[in-house]
């Protein structure tokens, strides 16, 4: 059974750096084809894809946020960490991590999600 | 970036109704299209992948079709647990953009 859970601060100040941790079980990020993504969803809006890390440590970032994002994995701890610098109130959102099924295929999808963590950016 | 546009943005329907939601991509994406259902306060749940494949455990009243730029999600007979927001998501690129959502509520 695959589970994921996000952890980190729920309130950050403008200009601060956000660090979120996704702790998962039921799969290994050392297994070929596996990926973990970060997706955020501002209140009342659609989900927005942020970043992806593959089993082989290949990484992808949203072009609009690339300069602010860093994703790393700790395979031994079954964790993926996302950092986002220079936080702004517009970054207020629920942040989700999810298991990405499909490797490098275009037939990929997000089949297991964490519960999400609401991060508010406010002074 | 590939833009995904859903219509309608919201609809009201009754239990037992047939409901169709449309998703249009800004460029051709073959059949690289997924559908998710989201209920308030919950994470999205995968319903369909590759445009027309039903994810494990999803009721057969859900179906998907389309290829290229135009796709549909159909609920053949709406059930009380289906009132939710539905999102399409393209998997043509690694930047898997989502549509803006279609909220299905009770008439």
Give B24-37 pLDDT, tens digit per residue.
999 999 999 999 99
Find residue B7's DSSP bridge partners.
B22
For residue B107, the model assigns a pLDDT of 86
For residue B93, the model assigns a pLDDT of 92
Per-residue HEC secondary structure of A47-89 comes to CEEEEEEECCCCEEECCCCHHHEEEEEEHHHCEEEEEECCCCH
φ, ψ of residue A11 in degrees (nearest 5): -140, 125
Average pLDDT, rounded, for chain A: 97
Looking at CA atoms only, how far is residue B22 from chain A in angstroms?
Answer: 16
Residue B52 has pLDDT above 90, yes or no: yes
Q: How far apart are CA A101 and CA B32, in angstroms?
A: 13
Q: How far apart are CA A104 and CA A16, in angstroms?
A: 34
Put simply, the chain B residues between 9 and 68 with a CB less than 8 A from any chain A CB are: 30, 32, 34, 36, 42-46, 49-50, 55
φ, ψ of residue A116 in degrees (nearest 5): 90, 155
Average pLDDT, rounded, for chain B: 97
Q: How far apart are CA A92 and CA A21, in angstroms?
A: 17
Nearest C-alpha neighbor of A114 from the set A16, A9, A18, A20: A20
Query: B103 and chain A: CB distance < 8 Å anywhere?
Result: no
- Closest chain B residue to the Cα of A6, Cα to Cα: B43
Q: Is residue A109 within 8 Å of A20, Cβ to Cβ? A: no
Average pLDDT over residues A108-113: 96
Percentages (nearest 5) of helix, strand, coil residues in chain B = 5, 50, 50
- Closest chain A residue to the Cα of B93, Cα to Cα: A106
User: Residue A17 carries which DSSP code?
Assistant: P
The answer to whether A52 contacts B99, with C-beta atoms less than 8 Å apart, is no
Of A49, A96, A115, the CB nearest to B95: A49
List CB contacts of B81: < 8 A, sequence separation 6 or more.
none
Out of A30-34, A44-48, A70-74, B65-69, which region has the weakest mean confidence (pLDDT)?
A30-34
Average pLDDT over residues A15-41: 96
- Order the strands of the A69-74 sheet from edge to edge: A3-7, A18-25, A79-84, A69-74
Q: Is residue A97 within 8 Å of A38, Cβ to Cβ? A: yes
């Amino acid at each position: 059974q695959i589970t994921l859970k996000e952890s980190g601060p729920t309130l950050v100040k403008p200009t601060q750096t956000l660090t979120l941790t996704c702790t998962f079980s039921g799969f290994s990020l050392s297994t070929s084809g596996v990926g973990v993504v970060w997706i955020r969803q501002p209140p009342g809006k659609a989900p927005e894809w942020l970043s992806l890390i593959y089993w082989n440590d290949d990484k992808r970032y949203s072009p609009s946020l690339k300069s602010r994002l860093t994703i790393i994995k700790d395979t031994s701890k079954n964790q993926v960490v996302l950092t986002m610098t220079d936080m702004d109130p517009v970054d207020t959102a629920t942040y989700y991590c999810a298991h990405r099924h499909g490797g490098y295929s275009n037939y990929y999808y997000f089949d297991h999600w964490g519960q999400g963590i609401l991060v508010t950016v406010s002074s | 970036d590939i833009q995904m546009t859903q219509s309608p943005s919201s609809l009201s329907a009754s239990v037992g109704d047939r409901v169709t939601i449309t998703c249009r991509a800004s460029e051709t994406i073959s059949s690289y299209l997924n559908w998710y259902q989201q209920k308030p306060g919950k994470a999205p749940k995968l319903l369909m992948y590759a445009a027309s494949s039903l994810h494990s455990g999803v009721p057969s009243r859900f179906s998907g079709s389309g290829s290229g730029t135009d796709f549909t999600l159909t609920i053949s007979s709406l059930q009380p647990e289906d009132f939710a927001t539905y999102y399409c998501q393209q998997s043509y690129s690694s930047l898997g953009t989502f549509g803006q959502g279609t909220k299905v509520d009770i008439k």
